[in-house]
Amino acid sequence: MAAEKKGQTIVIKKIYQTGGHHGGSWKVALADFMTALMCFFLVMWLLNQTPETKKAVSDYFSTPSIIEYNFQNFGAEITLEKLFLDLINEPLKAFQSFMEPIDKTPNLLEMGSTKVVAAYMADQMQDLATNVQISPDGFEFIIPDYQLFIPGTSTPKPEFVAATDKLKAITTGLEDADVIVSSYIFNQSVAGSNPELANKVASERLDLVQNKMQASLEHNTVSITGDARVSEKKGFIEGQSERPPGMIKIQIKQKPVKSDGSKPRKLDSMFGSASADMSVYDNFVKQAVAQKAKKKQQQ
């Protein structure tokens, strides 16, 4: 009789990986608890703040960064140009601009790019400013007098407030800048072609615009000067020709030295010409008008 085969013993080994304090899972729960606790204290702190602080916090989370703002409003090419120029000239400021919300009243002289300035001008003042010229040191533009005043007088039109609000978007955030306001008018622009009346109208217009700009400035490193100029219109025939319009010319330039003793950064251009003239501004105006028309059609 064959020997009985011995049965095999099956051993099942179970390995439990355990560590101190429940394997560390408590750390996840603690991190969640600490995060919730931090949020709670932040909310309690915010509830006790002034309305100005609450608004500042709200603006931080609701306002796009300057990179996002440039991309949405001026396109990829201009945004990349500004970013590239910032990385070359001010690398730390370039990285900071990714996070910081855009200033609602930006300093155009610190934009670094002539095309960004031209695009911003077109975005803000497309139906107001003409003869826009941009150089490495600053920019200038003209506002026809019929946009601001009743022709031949210094009486503001109903649109005066809206027009000066657009002007504030250009000048309010300026720093370390010289602003020159010039009020031009012809003798023939006023009733009776009276030189004394023309001088009076030009001076009063200058005072109104200067005072509006001065009151809106955020920094005391900006100086505003102005002059009123009156001249004769050649070839004008009383009663046979329309009275020639006047204009308000505004020049904004960087000061040679900033208030902290450093030299200002010049406006530059990476793509194309180093200076943006009126044709560049007009191109941006055309694009802005086309975009607005497209939005109206979609609505």
pLDDT tens per residue across span 41-77: 888 888 888 888 777 676 656 555 555 565 555 655 5
Q: Is the pLDDT of residue 171 over 50?
A: yes
Is residue 86 domain-resident?
no
Cα–Cα distance, 141 to 163 (Å, whole number): 14
Is residue 177 domain-resident?
yes
Q: Which CATH number characterizes residue 266's domain?
A: 3.30.1330.60
Residues 140 and 251 placed together within one structural domain of the fold:
yes
The pLDDT of residue 125 is: 84
Cα–Cα distance, 32 to 25 (Å, whole number): 11
The pLDDT of residue 205 is: 95
Q: Is the pLDDT of residue 22 over 80?
A: no
Out of 59, 76, 95, a domain closes at 59
Query: Would strands 222-231 and 130-135 be described as parallel, antiparallel, or unpaired?
Result: unpaired
Range among 88-97, 135-144, 267-276 with highest mean pLDDT value? 135-144
- Global confidence as pTM: 0.64
The pLDDT of residue 127 is: 81
Q: Is 108 exposed, middle or buried (0-12, 13-18, 19+ CB in 10 A)?
A: buried
Is residue 264 domain-resident?
yes
Residues 147 and 35 placed together within one structural domain of the fold:
no
- Any residues with CB less than 8 A from the CB of 174 and at least 6 apart, and which? 107, 108, 109, 217, 219, 222, 252
Residues 42 and 168 placed together within one structural domain of the fold:
no
Cα–Cα distance, 185 to 167 (Å, whole number): 20
Is residue 152 domain-resident?
yes
The pLDDT of residue 203 is: 95
Residues 49 and 172 placed together within one structural domain of the fold:
no
Closest Cα partner for 145 from 162, 132, 128?
Answer: 128
Q: pLDDT tens-digit profile of 212-244? A: 999 989 899 999 999 999 998 887 777 667 888
The pLDDT of residue 249 is: 95
Residues 52 and 189 placed together within one structural domain of the fold:
no
The pLDDT of residue 202 is: 94
Q: Which backbone phi and psi does 262 adopt, to 5 degrees?
A: -85, 165
State the amino acid at position 293 in one-letter form: A
Domain membership of residue 36 as a residue range = 31-59
Is residue 14 domain-resident?
no
